[in-house]
Amino acid sequence: MQEILLKSKIHMATVTDKSIEYMGSIGIDLELMEKAGIKPNELVLVADVSNGQRFVTYTIPEKRGSKKIVVNGAAARLVENGDKVIIMAFAMYEEGEYKGPKVLIMDEENNVTEIREGI
């Protein structure tokens, strides 16, 4: 039996911009995506810690090193610049295969302060 479990998480990132006119997605600094093991166009669940909103979308890469977290499309109505968000990616695992998620802990400027694996 396969189970859907948390693969990666970017914890307490700060929303840097939003664009209602864009067709959808969440833009994430490519460097952060690679560190977290999140791919372009991957399905993610986003939880806004600042207001309690949650939404599902897909990822697009922002410029490497830009530290951008940009919410686009309809979901842009659910966040404000400066909001803290948790970005979660999931995967399917066979029994005994799962070793725990990779978690990036972020600071106020979207710098990685800690990487936890297998927690």
86, two tokens: 């948790």
What's the N-to-C CA distance of the chain in angstroms? Answer: 22
Question: Confidence class of residue 23 from pLDDT cuts 50, 70 and 90?
Answer: confident
Nearest-angstrom CA–CA distance, 107 and 109: 6
Position 34 pLDDT exceeds 80: yes
pTM of the model: 0.96
Q: What is the predicted pLDDT for the residue at 24?
A: 81
Cα–Cα dist 42/36, whole Å: 12
Indicate if 25 belongs to the active site: yes
Task: List domains and CATH numbers for the chain.
Answer: 2-117 (2.40.40.20)
Q: In the predicted model, what is the mean pLDDT of residues 10-38? A: 96
Is 93 catalytic? The answer is: no
From 22, 50, 58, 93, active-site residue = 58
CA 13 from chain centre, in angstroms, equals 8
pLDDT at 35 (0 to 100): 98
- On whether the CB atoms of residues 105 and 119 are closer than 8 A, the answer is no
